[in-house]
Amino acid sequence: PHAGPVESKNEAAMSELVPEPRQKPVVPMKPTGINASLLGYIGIDTIIEQMRKKTMKTGFDFNIMVVGQSGLGKSTLVNTLFKSQVSRKSSGWNREEKIPKTVEIKAIGHVIEEGGVKMKLTVIDTPGFGDQINNENCWEPIEKYINEQYEKFLKEEVNIARKKRIPDTRVHCCLYFISPTGHSLRPLDLEFMKHLSKVVNIIPVIAKADTMTLEEKTEFKQRVRKELEVNGIEFYPQKEFDEDLEDKTENDKIRQESMPFAIVGSDKEYQVNGKRVLGRKTPWGIIEVENLNHCEFALLRDFVIRTHLQDLKEVTHNIHYETYRAKRLNGNGGLPPMTIETEENHESNL
């Protein structure tokens, strides 16, 4: 009859002891203890080199979209960004000819190589945005295009026999061109960015910034930032996706000082002090595109290519694509997705 309470006492004692062994494995995790006990070279430090070799073989994908009014130099800017004729098939026209007007959403793929690193670059050029008399819902074809690329990727992913490497046509970055009016953003700009900031990484840029004085430029940038904030428009790099304090500090600086980048694009070369530079010739001198005293083009290129390219791809995959994927599979009862056509009908029924 006394066995019951004794057992419960033992159980109580046991339960007190249970957490102890669980905490013990934490101790050897201290790196100092491990390093001290290494008796020779193992080669863990070659992991980075192994990854480098593997990724060098497969190459990289990067898909960039340009959106904005006609005549703001969207096609020219992309050529300037990559220092080559990437916004059109280069065989069709030469450097001296004027870039033809974009009349439809057109994706052009190129392979660019630099220092042994291959990048499959796709430039998605869009027709002048908001040029019509009635601009109601004119962002829809662009939104549809972005979602179609997610759909394509999703279809490949849910295949039973899926490819080892799914071709990635998803839009990693959308440069939104703002007209250099010096006033405020057009309602159309706000409407577009509100719709699309949820599905793609938007980077706002002020085009043809050489038309404004320095004071006008500073004032306009502040006004644009304020309007985006008031309208709750999140542009890239989004605050909530900063992973650590270092990222936050770096990105805050970009959000509060650089954005939107005031830029000038040009694919024409001129001689300045014996050096060849990309620039625009005016009666009072040459505006050097890559000179930070003249415009912020160099900052934009560093941001998009040299510091944040990988992050743009990751945010597209982990945030925008995941959101699309979850929505599609939920709405479809977790079944393989419908075709793009039925997807449109499905959306119109909602």
pLDDT one-digit tens code per residue, 150-205: 999 999 888 888 888 888 899 999 999 888 887 778 888 888 888 888 899 999 99
337 inside domain: no
pLDDT tier for residue 102 given thresholds of 50, 70 and 90: low
| Beta bridge mates, 63 | 122
Hunting for tokens 């662009």 — which residue is that? Answer: 142
Q: In sequence order, what DSSP letters do the residues of 17-51 get, joined into one string?
A: HTHHHHHGGGGGG-HHHHHHH--S---GGGHHHHH
37 vs 303 pLDDT, higher one? 303
Do the beta carbons of residue 273 and residue 285 sit within 8 Å?
Answer: no
Task: Write the single-letter amino acid at 241.
Answer: F
- Among 172, 206, 210, 212, smallest CA distance to 189 is for 206
Look at residue 25 in the predicted model and tell me its pLDDT.
44
pLDDT tier for residue 18 given thresholds of 50, 70 and 90: very low
Whole-model pTM?
0.76
78 inside domain: yes
pLDDT tier for residue 17 given thresholds of 50, 70 and 90: very low
230 inside domain: yes
279 inside domain: no
Domain count, the chain: 1
Q: What is the mean pLDDT of residues 266-289?
A: 80
Residue-range definition of the domain harbouring residue 187 = 56-265+293-332
Residues making up the chain, counted from first to last? 350
319 vs 331 pLDDT, higher one? 319
Least trusted range by pLDDT, from 78-82, 84-88, 119-123, 207-211? 84-88
* pLDDT over threshold 50, residue 91: no
Tokens of 349: 């029924």
Tokens of 219: 């004032």
Q: What is the mean pLDDT of residues 300-324?
A: 89
Do the beta carbons of residue 187 and residue 159 sit within 8 Å?
Answer: no
300 inside domain: yes
Least trusted range by pLDDT, from 46-60, 65-79, 296-310? 65-79
CATH number for 327: 3.40.50.300
